[in-house]
Amino acid sequence: MTKKSCDQCHHRKVRCQGGAPSCNSCCRLGFQCSFSHEGLPDPQAIANPPRKLRGGLACLQCHQQKTRCGREHPKCSTCLKRAWPCTYRSSSHLRSPISADKSNHTLAVPATEGQADPVTVLPASGVDNANGTAASDTPELQAGPSFVLGTPTPLPTGLDACTSSLVDRFFEKIQPVPSLSFLHPRMTKERFSGGSLDETLILAICGVTISQDKLDPTHRNRSLALMSRSEELVWQRLDSPNMARLQALIVCVAYRIEMGFTQRAFMLAGLAARAVTAMRLNHERHDLDPVSNEVRRRTLWSLKILELYFSIGLPEYELLPLENVYLQLPCREESFQDSAPSLAIESGAYSHYVKLTSIRRDIMKLTRAISMYDQPFPQLVKLIDSLDHELSHLRCQMTSDGAIPFPSVVRFASTPWLARHLVMQLSWHQCRCDLYRLLLPDYPEAPPAVVLAGLEVQTVENAVRLCLEHSLAIIGILSDLNSQCAQLPLLEYDTAICGYHACRLVLFLAHSQPRLSQLSREYAISRAELCLTAIKRFFRFSMPVRPILRDLERLISTCSTDAVNWTALVFRSTPDDEQSRDPLLSAAARAKQRLAIHSLLRQADFEDSEPQAAVSPSNAGTGHSPVRQRNMYKVLSLEHTSGKRPATEPVSATQIGGEDQHCGLWNDDPGAFSAQPALLFPWCEPYDAFADIL
């Protein structure tokens, strides 16, 4: 006996599972199933076949051969591989993948916690706002994508009516931010207009653009639905990554970071890194046009920028080590886009910032490498000098005339490139601070006293002067921008990180080095308050910045009331951290993987072990609870206590590991201090100064 199919599945030529009141396919796609009114067929529903769900996006040759089309332009990868002539249908026969006839097919986003009615946008998975996990993570939905349907209530203006304006807003407001600067404006808009832009990328662009309206809660739910749907489409084609879906995934990572879903962002970033490796984006391609090559480069570099926000320098968390990246730095914007007078003022800020993030990674690895060193390290000053020389050389390239100090970032406030120039200048100053704070006795990220014992007084005085100069420069840049910028620009997360460390450094110098720094307690607190005010304003709705703001408020408040023991304020752990100390970890392990307050990995709150039902006899007398579900990253992020370091045997330079604000490692390989140091850029010649040291 032949199994009966409903009319919709019969017209679409798909398998019908049957069932009442409607089959699974019709329920999932929002169709009116003929099973819902068995015996009373609707002549109109039978006469009119359902709306076509797939657009004709494949090239004519792949469509004729019935092969999967990569849908690249001007020629798809399948035709290139098989030497077929590749042609596409005219744009008049194509339409946007997300444009739809809302009268025939309208889906609703499932109601989230605290939301009474569903918000109609696009097909999307259920998302729990409480923890940021998608409903597809549950066991019931792991077998395949499934969408919960609500009452179709179309918006006054559907997404298909405003998608074009959202794409334009994305390139106007969001694309200039370094971590999202990989899409080519003209080519992306042309593909969108011609209907050949991947639906996954369109959803991601629209979702992240809508999310910028922080004051409207309905926009937040709408953007969350769009981003969740984009992620689902990535999962559906997980085995065949392409450039558009990878770019959509990176946009999803940036969105999840901004909204505070750091657990999901970390896992999605790992998936994006696997796609980068599979597509070999870490290698140059000589058979592509310059724009396509630049898009590939920028896609990888933007992912590397986002990666640093989780933990910089920890090898076990590095998604794609720089030692395996064989790409040029990004080019200037006027070379990437069509020539226009407004592009010239970008001046390669994106490229310089990418290189600065790499130098900061090297400095963090050096910081960690020497932080647990138990014997004198006379090469430290030479290493610092060589890195400082690299920074000075880069400084001459960052402005057309190499002028010092930098031109005021306020002049870029009315241009799209404010975020790039601001984070570039702050990052350069932060590199100097990270480098010379290594020579400040008693600073948290400074080496042990045995390493600094042989330093000359002039060396320490110079380090104090440079740390003060650059930390005050960071605070001055942020406070000036805050006072003179009328609107709230979209800024890189690294902007808040630089401001946070500048405040810590100024407060520390005012107490530990009052004579050399010539900083009074009141002046240091006033500078920190100015910086705190600027960060609060620019990152008012940013979830990852909230721990930074809380810690700065704690520091300033305690410094204002306790003028005796400022040094302890920097080392002191918060009460929550003290209670979460895990006795099963050694002090060396805690120091090795310490994470800063702004580390997204620390904020992710991952569980590290399975719960156990009962205490086993073997550990009943140890005094340690077998149930360990606390956040291990907070445990590993404990600050110094009482200035004591773990007692360890003397280790060689090839075995050292330690701590720093970002928790980076120099290198875990035995040859970390070999003739080819791991901190060098793969595309650069080695520092000459290292040859005399290593």
The residue out of 516, 547, 574 marking a domain boundary is 574
532 within domain boundaries: yes
Looking at residue 55, what is its pLDDT? 52
CA distances from 321 to 30, 148, 307, 402, 657 (A): 45, 40, 10, 31, 18
Q: For residue 358, count other CB atoms closer than 10 A to its CB.
A: 21
Q: Which one, of 296, 436, 304, 284, lies nearest residue 357 by Cα?
A: 304
* 611-635 mean pLDDT: 44
For 202-217, the pLDDT digits (tens) are 999 999 999 998 777 7
Q: Categorize the per-residue pLDDT at 565 as very low, low, confident or very high, splitting at 50, 70 and 90.
A: low
Q: Categorize the per-residue pLDDT at 28 as very low, low, confident or very high, splitting at 50, 70 and 90.
A: confident
41 within domain boundaries: no
pLDDT(44) > 90: no
Verify that 418 and 293 share a domain, yes or no. Answer: no
Verify that 202 and 317 share a domain, yes or no. Answer: yes
Domain ranges, residue 270: 159-335
Looking at residue 266, what is its pLDDT? 94
Verify that 386 and 466 share a domain, yes or no. Answer: yes
Verify that 320 and 449 share a domain, yes or no. Answer: no
Verify that 224 and 364 share a domain, yes or no. Answer: no
Question: What is residue 326's three-state secondary structure?
Answer: strand
- Judged by average pLDDT, the poorest of 236-245, 477-486, 571-580 is 571-580
Question: What is residue 624's three-state secondary structure?
Answer: coil
Q: Categorize the per-residue pLDDT at 338 as very low, low, confident or very high, splitting at 50, 70 and 90.
A: confident
- Judged by average pLDDT, the poorest of 28-32, 265-269, 631-635 is 631-635
Verify that 278 and 369 share a domain, yes or no. Answer: no
Looking at residue 161, what is its pLDDT? 58
pLDDT(564) > 70: no
Q: For residue 413, count other CB atoms closer than 10 A to its CB.
A: 16
Cβ atoms of 394 and 428 within 8 Å: the answer is yes
* 12-38 mean pLDDT: 76
For 166-181, the pLDDT digits (tens) are 999 999 999 999 999 9
**What span, in angstroms and rounded, lies between the C-alpha atoms of 367 and 365?**
5
pLDDT(335) > 60: yes
Verify that 282 and 408 share a domain, yes or no. Answer: no
Tell me the backbone φ, ψ of residue 193, rounded to 5 degrees.
-65, -35
Cβ burial 33-54 (10 Å sphere, 16+ → b, else e) = bbbbeeeeeeeebeeeebeeee
Largest CA distance in the chain: 96
Looking at residue 611, what is its pLDDT? 54
665 within domain boundaries: no
Q: Categorize the per-residue pLDDT at 103 as very low, low, confident or very high, splitting at 50, 70 and 90.
A: very low
Cβ burial 136-169 (10 Å sphere, 16+ → b, else e) = beeeebeeeebbbbbeeeeeeebbeeebeebbeb
360 within domain boundaries: yes
Give the CB-side neighbour count of residue 197, counting CA atoms within 13 A.
26
pTM of the model: 0.69
- How many domains, in total, are found in the chain? 2
Verify that 329 and 370 share a domain, yes or no. Answer: no
pLDDT(402) > 80: no
Tell me the backbone φ, ψ of residue 510, rounded to 5 degrees.
-65, -25
Verify that 214 and 327 share a domain, yes or no. Answer: yes
Looking at residue 353, what is its pLDDT? 97
**What share of the chain has pLDDT > 70, as a percent?**
67
Verify that 296 and 380 share a domain, yes or no. Answer: no
Verify that 284 and 380 share a domain, yes or no. Answer: no
Looking at residue 61, what is its pLDDT? 84
358 within domain boundaries: yes
Verify that 351 and 489 share a domain, yes or no. Answer: yes
**What share of the chain has pLDDT > 90, as a percent?**
39
49 within domain boundaries: no
* Residue-averaged pLDDT of the chain: 75
The larger pLDDT score, comparing residue 402 to residue 31, is at 31
296 within domain boundaries: yes
What are the helix (H) ranges across 439-545? 449-452, 457-484, 493-512, 514-517, 521-538
The residue out of 335, 357, 375 marking a domain boundary is 335
**What span, in angstroms and rounded, lies between the C-alpha atoms of 211 and 302?**
20
